Structure 1
Amino acid sequence: MKSLEEILAIARSIGWGASYLLRSYYHGGLNNPELDIPDKDGPVTAADIAVNRYILDRLQTNLGNQDFAYISEETYNAQTDGQLSQPWVWIIDPLDGTRDFIDKTGEYAIHIALVKDSRPVLAVVAWPEAEKLYYATVGGGTFVETRDGKVTPIRVAARDKLEDLTLVVSRTHRDRRFNQLLQQLPCQNQKSVGSVGCKIATIIEQQADVYISLSGKSAPKDWDLAAPELILTEAGGNFTHFDGTPLKYNQGDVNQWGGLLASNGHCHAELCKEAERILAELEGREK
């Protein structure tokens, strides 16, 4: 098998190629009749399908299927029982933030993560409209690469006072319970950003500090979180369940249920405890 550095070079190249392909759909306009494919969970466009095919084809051509398994949002069979048996698994989201793609906010991303024994070891998150690609390997730090080829190490902000922290939140996907949680947190500064990948990039770029996911009728999936988690943690941040336990991937159920909190790493445990306390009070009132 190739070294992690060689695999990363391949993943970065694929990330840029996928980014250019996705932008060609984005700037081609939504009058294209191909950009209208219904999906049971929400909007899926021809762009999702094309970029998914491009990423899988390039990965499998370069790396094969003997050492690696592949989980992709667009090809995953929800009826599959149990986790994939290979220790190395690629987890891919060809278009994170499809609604933002359709609504033309520019806040959509591409996630490519390599997971070993349930934890990410390599990640690429491309933000096509920012023309940036974030990448990380476990223990190797996080870097941002721009279209001109410039590579810069990147770290989260040092803000460490609860009241000074900024939450990055969605414009949609916010039910009553989640809004009540946000209203009672000690940090009340908010910034609205689209996809999860773009939210985490916003934290890495020091424009925000905290992201919270609270599952309700649905939950974020492995492909929503695996790549963003690693680029955040390798940039000095933290990403856990509210109880402090790490996220695990390729566990059979691709849903990441419960409360999840990503932060710049400062006040992380305190915020997790506060979120748990608030939720317990809310649930107590509803009984």
Structure 2
Amino acid sequence: MGELKYLGEQRYEGLDEISAIARAIGWGASDILRSFYRGEPSTGNLNIQEKTGGPVTAADLAVNAYILEKLQASIGIEDFGYLTEETYQSQTSLPIDHSWVWIIDPLDGTRDFIDKTGEYAIHIALVHQGRPVLAVVAWPEAEKLFYAIKNGGTFEETRDGSTTQVQVSDRNSLADLTLVVSRTHRDQRFNQLLQQLPCQNQRAVGSVGCKVATIVEQKADVYISISGKSAPKDWDMAAPELILTEAGGKFTHVDGQPLKYNQGDVNQWGCLIASNGHCHEDLCDRIQQILAQIDQNA
């Protein structure tokens, strides 16, 4: 493998080869998840464990081990750190002391996986100094894989290896935008926000990766995350963020600030807005106003 270099001004050398490796791993991980999803004898029982942060299954653990093994065998451990949902608690210290860190969710949407909605995904992201520069989001049940490299666009890859560049919609009126929302993870404050937004079209989709895939396929335009007692984690957002932004969208905190990863706290607190970008600032302003009013009346 060639040397990975940062050339300055958000330019990188060597990411194409690493992207090809990550995509192959994404397809392999998809095969493992689909085997568990279908209850094939070779994979065994799901062994569902309900934990504080949500359910964990044998599928999460098997795919986590597979991705780490394949990545580390291909590119090593000297130049890269690894942060995954299933291993972060065993890290001796956070943030991970590397400029280049892989952030991995082996099964985003575990509840959807268990409930058989088909809307689960695999997230693999490489971040450099806290910002994503390479991403893979695999949607096993759709047999699609989305990938992006910083400043290189977003592409959809199918099983036969064919690729198509994808772009967000050009809808640019708040009232015309469609929100992609969760079936669960919706508290009273979030529901109050949804009721007062000018965009009332909604589409229910599970995993964050699947939500963002829905936006880059122009079937929706906006995703909103508001933390309550808990918050989404680095591995929920890192890969989907780059998939969206390289397809022309925007993904920020509600105040317009960028997300940062591998900062020590894996939680992404606050209100996060992902959109097709055309009304992003207006949408953020409107959401800030509505939330301020909701909190004032609480």
TM-score (norm 2): 0.93
Q: Distance in 2 between matches of 1:69 and 1:200?
A: 25
Cα deviations across residues 136-169 of structure 1 (Å, max 9, x unaligned)? 0000000000111110000000000111100000
Q: Distance in 2 between matches of 1:284 and 1:6?
A: 51
| Cα displacement (A) at 1:77 | 1.1
One-letter identity of the residue aligned with 2:231: A
One-letter identity of the residue aligned with 2:112: D
Cα deviations across residues 110-145 of structure 1 (Å, max 9, x unaligned)? 000000000000000000000000000000000000
**Match for residue 186 of structure 1?**
198
Within-5 A mapping of 1:1-287: 1-2=3-4, 3-28=14-39, 33-77=45-89, 81-286=93-298
Q: Distance in 2 between matches of 1:55 and 1:67?
A: 17
SS at match of 2:51: coil
| Cα displacement (A) at 1:39 | 2.5
SS at match of 1:227: helix
| Cα displacement (A) at 1:79 | 7.4
RMSD: 1.5
Cα deviations across residues 61-97 of structure 1 (Å, max 9, x unaligned)? 0011100000000111177544111100000000000
One-letter identity of the residue aligned with 1:44: V
Q: Which runs of 5+ in 1 are unaligned?
A: none
Cα deviations across residues 171-226 of structure 1 (Å, max 9, x unaligned)? 00000000000110110000000000000000000000000000000000000000
Q: Distance in 2 between matches of 1:34 and 1:203?
A: 30
| Cα displacement (A) at 1:33 | 3.5
One-letter identity of the residue aligned with 1:169: V
One-letter identity of the residue aligned with 1:257: W
Q: Distance in 2 between matches of 1:25 and 1:82?
A: 32
Count the aligned residue pairs: 286
Q: Distance in 2 between matches of 1:263 and 1:46?
A: 33
| Cα displacement (A) at 1:28 | 1.4
One-letter identity of the residue aligned with 2:96: L
Percentage of matched positions with identical amino acids? 69
Decide whether the 8 Å contact of 2:99 with 2:129 is kept in 1. Answer: yes
Q: Which runs of 5+ in 2 are unaligned?
A: 5-13
**Match for residue 9 of structure 2?**
none
> Per the alignment, do residues 138 and 29 of structure 1 end up closer, same or farther by CA in structure 2, a change over 3 Å counting?
same
Q: Distance in 2 between matches of 1:56 and 1:127?
A: 19
SS at match of 2:49: coil
SS at match of 1:77: helix
TM-score (norm 1): 0.97
Bigger mean CA offset, 69-78 vs 251-260: 69-78
Decide whether the 8 Å contact of 2:254 with 2:273 is kept in 1. Answer: yes
One-letter identity of the residue aligned with 1:203: I
One-letter identity of the residue aligned with 1:8: S
